Chain A
Amino acid sequence: MKGNGGKGQKIGFILILILCILLLDGCWGKREVEQLAPLIGVGIDLGQKPDTFLITEQYALPKKGGATASDVEGWTYSYEVSSAREINEMSSKILNLVPFMGSLKVIVVSEDVAKAGFNDILDFAHRFSEFRRSLYLVLAKGKAQDLLNLKLRKGELPAKFIKSNIETGDTISAFPKVRLGHYLTVLGRKSTAPILPVVESIKSGDEGIEYKAEGEDGVQELRIQGAGVLRGDRLVDLLTDEETKGYMWLENNVIHRLINTVGIGESTVNFSGQVLNSKTKYKVKSNNGTIELQYQIKTSITVDEVLGLKKQLSEPEWLELMKEAEKIFAKVIEKECELSIKKERELGLDFLGIGRHIEQKNPAYWKTVKDQWEEKVSDSPVSLDVQVTIHHSGMSSSSATTN
């Protein structure tokens, strides 16, 4: 038949094709969009019974008659289950829709679950093909269920809010963005401790934030601030806002940052500004036989605010002031970094990935210390070299003065 193709055989092929068309009236397991319930957020808490989890699922469906495509109505359900797969069965029973995992954007892990370890319950999220490794992982201060059930003042679904807050986080670079894939990659490094950003609910009046609240408890806002440090999949401690910011500098994660010098040094003049770009490089140096990691941070900043300047300055004086500002900004950055390094030493956990930097730059030395790294991390020498360049000071020089 090769090449010539007998007539009978061609008819045979055509018959098979017709048969296929007649028999295959659709895809197996096909699901119409209207039958799907897109899952956007999952919260994981500890269950009441032993070895169970309280899993909260947040679904979002386009609102019927909504003005825009982003008008969604959300449903949030919680189930006590012993495995993540079990939730599908429970939610299918209530929803009359098929849960769709491919749209999941955020997994919120509660503090209690994180302390107990959560790799097992997370296994479904990276084994089942519908999920994407690009979804975000966050740590909840308190219960994840409470966060996902929160009625935000803007009417946004909490999972959607967390996702968009993370994605716009580059403007302040104050907390790490951790996708599931990144978390798994860091776990694979073994010497580095994973880190997750912390989400918390805030009341009016908390830490200087005030808003007109409705409802009894007055909790109507969420905030991402700080981070949790894990040993493997278990939460060990939380980092403060400043420690987390230090981590961001040291991990070369700062894209933009709003920064001010209030409370730093003895200068009566203070500055605030925005980081335009920042780059952190790593240098491993041998210092009298000891291996030291040096962080070299180069940052460009614009001065957006000058506080406490009482007189008009001449041009040379202004230049001098800006040089001074560069030094003070560098001190702010150094302080944040030092806090982070101090925390790493206290915990004895290498969330800054110092070991990985040493391994990359000096693999021969790394081989001699890697097995005792957790003991060595507390006194591993680290130094900082921060260089700040002020690009400009906005639309004016000097300041408006009262005299």
Chain B
Amino acid sequence: MSAIEAGMSIPPLELAPISRYTLALYAGASGDHNPIHIDSDFAKAAGMPDVFAHGMLSMACLGRMLTNWQPQAQLRKFSNRFAAITQLQDIITCSGTVVELIDRDGERLARCEIQAATANGEKTLIGEALVAL
């Protein structure tokens, strides 16, 4: 593996289209039983077009991208804001770039800008990760 340096890309991760099955499975596995993600009637009554993906499902996939790239034990910080709702059938791609190398608490860290986006290019998650080298 080549040395990590500013400007390099993290290998992206493209996900399968978001389905109701994906959301039901995530609701069960995560314990997040908020009906807005699994019950269409409830979602529509709440003013949404339909059920939509858990933000934490997309964040978990951003996490997969990071841990595919570097071992989890190297991960120091991982954050994002949820910039847009992920709808049914959206095809999400997770990507990221090393923006700089910094020193913190005696460690050399790669500061990475990370994001999840739909096939139309709308950013759904925008965040940052600090990974120890």
Partners in one complex: no
